[in-house]
Amino acid sequence: MEVISEIRKGSEKMSEENGVIYRISGPVVTAVGITPRMYEVVRVGHEGLMGEVIELHGNQSVIQVYEETSGIKPGEPVVRTGQTLSVQLGPGLLTQIYDGIQRPLEDLEKTMGVFITRGVDADGLDLKKKWEFNATASVGDEVSAGAVIGTVQETETIEHRVMMPPGKGGTIKSIKSGEFDVTQTVCTLDDGTDIAMMQEWPVRTPRPFVRKYAPDVPLITGQRILDFLFPLAKGGTAGIPGPFGSGKTVTQQQLAKWSDAQIVVYIGCGERGNEMTEVLTEFPHLIDPHTGKPLMNRTTMIANTSNMPVAAREASVYTGVTIAEYFRDMGYDVALMADSTSRWAEAMREISSRLEEMPGEEGYPAYLSSRLAEFYERAGRVQTLAGDDGSVSVIGAVSPPGGDISEPVSQGTLRIVKVFWGLDAGLARQRHFPAINWLSSYSLYPQALDQWYRDNIASDYPEIRTEISALLQVEAELQEIVQLVGSDALPIDQQLTLEVARMIREFFLQQNAFHDVDTYSNLKLQYTMARAILSFQDEAKKAIAGGAELESVVNVPARTDIMRGRFESDYEERIAALVSDMGKQIAATMEGN
């Protein structure tokens, strides 16, 4: 418990100050008699509830409290800690589930039982657990901030790289491999500085790096509509706005499961308790297709559900992104999901209104859009201090009231993110999932990624994508006419286009997250499926020109097999044969005439 005791020591230093509570209004407490810094952590009331100074106002310090405040009275003590809100970083982060201020929920259960009460401290890392530290730097090495000095096999699949904390550096006087807990010294510098595996970092400050690169590698998600039409780059940003029940959480969970990031940080921010439980129960059993080991090994979760204190909800996003940056600094590709950023914004709004700040649009504080921008700015592909490549990709769900994205959080998000996956209530109602609207969604990354696709998947990958999206555009135009006259009134080639577009929608864009096989398609398969659709179009055109009936062309059995087959596990091996059967069967429809 060294860290907590350090905080206590800090508080002794400042205990000449006689802080007391002046006012309590929900999660916001005003204190007098102390002179803290902005964002300093303080202990509030007899129970020592954790809070953070968010405004200084004459002789008053305004504090947001991370725990329930009922029963607390004016006159109770307030004590400074001298620290800003920080997270503990080191081995032991993975497979954990934390609340918004990095208290492990498992530890809270041990001390509080199944209901979350208050007044309990818990370290973010297990300070007693011993890890096998494997020194990679040697005595006499010149190491600067961010340099990797050793490794720990944190989980079966992830090697934790122990780094020099930012701001520290020098020549190594001694370093040793062996069993250590995270606070023990593993390395000493010439100037006598001791380095342990754990470092702390204030959550509201981005961690340093050398420079940002333009992203040019896709984050592969296995979700066809995302990868093929609206791809996200490693180190990129995406927003998923959508009304309730349209698929934000399912999409985020799909990304957490299948994206080819090495580390996943999943923030459940002001959402449902059961959704976090689902992740907790499912992930240990799901196998990561890239490593063959359980997905839990690469995952850290932050769960500050809708009924947990709002101030901790406000902090949860920062806690999550700081952990993500820490793994990025080791040279990993990290994907961070925040579900939902709207609840985070609402927490800001609630606190702001208690502060009686001048409200901006729809009651949100005037600084809403700058906070959103600062958050997404923490994404990126960077050269780390150690000189490696690392990235944080950020995917934020947005929950607009009434599904109307003209509201401030959606608008603030869309101004920043490079990918917009727009969920559509109408599609969700038809159970077209993922209910991502292919006409309004966009990605600004394809140009930067096309070379990668040509090199790694197929030389004509970008062209195939363009053809598929063009067909969807044409369909939208034709549908307007169909609404007026019915499809039978269209010329036969346009009727065929409608059939092809239907195939794109029902066979390619729709993807069932809950189906063992359909839940993930690799990029090669996606490309093959797209080619299959275009080859149907080509064959059908020829047949129709040769006098075949549209009806019989559309209904050749091999086409149905191609469409249904995607649910079978041997699909990838069979699809080429099915496509060639389809070609023969379509050609045969001509001969019948």
Partner 1 sequence: MSGKEYRTITDVKGPLVFLNKTEPVAYGEIVQLRLTDGSMKNGQVLDTSDDQVIVQVFEGTSSVDRQTGVKFLGDVFRLPVSKDLIGRILDGAGLPRDGGPAIVPDEMADIIGAAINPYSRESPESFIQTGISAIDACTSLVRGQKLPIFSAAGLPHNDIALQIARQAKLVGSDDDFVVVFCAMGITAEEYNFFVHDLERTGALENAVLFVNLADDPAVERLITPRLALTAAEYLAFEHDYHVLVIYTDMTNYCESLRQIGAAREEVPGRRGYPGYMYTDLAMLYERAGLVKGKKGSITQFPILTMPGDDITHPIPDLSGYITEGQIVISRELHQKGIYPPINVLPSLSRLMNAGIGPGKTREDHKSVSDQLYAAYAQGRELRGLVAIVGEDALNERDLQLLKFSDIFENEFLRQSRDEDRSISEGTLDLAWDLLTNIDTKYLVRLDQKWIDKYHPTEKKE
Ligand X SMILES: Nc1ncnc2c1ncn2[C@@H]1O[C@H](COP(=O)(O)OP(=O)(O)OP(=O)(O)O)[C@@H](O)[C@H]1O
Q: Which is nearer to ligand X, 211 or 431 (CB)?
A: 431
Contact 39, 80 (CB under 8 A): no
* 5 interface partner picked from partner 1, Mg ion, ligand X, none, CB below 5 to 8 A per type: none
Per-residue tokens: 563:
């469409």
State which of positions 249-268 bind Mg ion (CB under 5 A). 249
Return the exposure string of 378-403: e unless at least 16 CB atoms fall within 10 Å of the residue's CB, then b. Answer: bbbbbebbbebbbbbbbbbbbbbeeb
State which of positions 386-425 bind ligand X (CB under 6 A). 399
Stretch that binds ligand X, among 165-173, 306-314, 380-388, 509-517 (CB under 6 A): 509-517
Neighbouring residues of 535: CB distance < 8 A, sequence distance ≥ 6: 579, 582, 583
How many residues lie near ligand X (CB under 6 A)?
A: 16
* 198 interface partner picked from ligand X, Mg ion, partner 1, none, CB below 5 to 8 A per type: none
Stretch that binds Mg ion, among 245-253, 309-317, 379-387, 507-515 (CB under 5 A): 245-253
Q: Which is nearer to partner 1, 57 or 431 (CB)?
A: 431
Round to whole Å and give the CA distance between 538 and 556: 14
Distance in Å, CB of 128 to partner 1, minimum: 20
Q: Which is nearer to ligand X, 424 or 499 (CB)?
A: 424
Q: HSE-up of 403 (CA within 13 Å, CB side)?
A: 13
Round to whole Å and give the CA distance between 23 and 449: 55
Q: Which is nearer to partner 1, 72 or 149 (CB)?
A: 72
Q: Which is nearer to partner 1, 124 or 243 (CB)?
A: 243
Per-residue tokens: 592:
């019948």
The DSSP code sequence of 215-281 is P-SB---S-HIIIIIS--BTT-EEEEE--TTSSHHHHHHHHHHHS--SEEEEEEES--HHHHHHHHH
* 277 interface partner picked from ligand X, Mg ion, partner 1, none, CB below 5 to 8 A per type: partner 1
Q: For residue 20, state whether it binds ligand X (rule: CB under 6 A).
A: no
State which of positions 233-262 bind ligand X (CB under 6 A). 242, 244-250
Q: Which is nearer to partner 1, 175 or 548 (CB)?
A: 548
Neighbouring residues of 493: CB distance < 8 A, sequence distance ≥ 6: 541, 544
* 434 interface partner picked from ligand X, partner 1, Mg ion, none, CB below 5 to 8 A per type: ligand X
Round to whole Å and give the CA distance between 487 and 476: 13
Q: Which is nearer to partner 1, 188 or 306 (CB)?
A: 306
* 242 interface partner picked from ligand X, Mg ion, partner 1, none, CB below 5 to 8 A per type: ligand X
Round to whole Å and give the CA distance between 520 and 221: 8
Instruction: Indicate the pairing of strand 389-398 with strand 333-339.
Output: parallel
Distance in Å, CB of 293 to partner 1, minimum: 22
Distance in Å, CB of 341 to ligand X, minimum: 12
Note the residues at the interface with ligand X (CB under 6 A).
242, 244-250, 271, 399, 433-434, 511-514
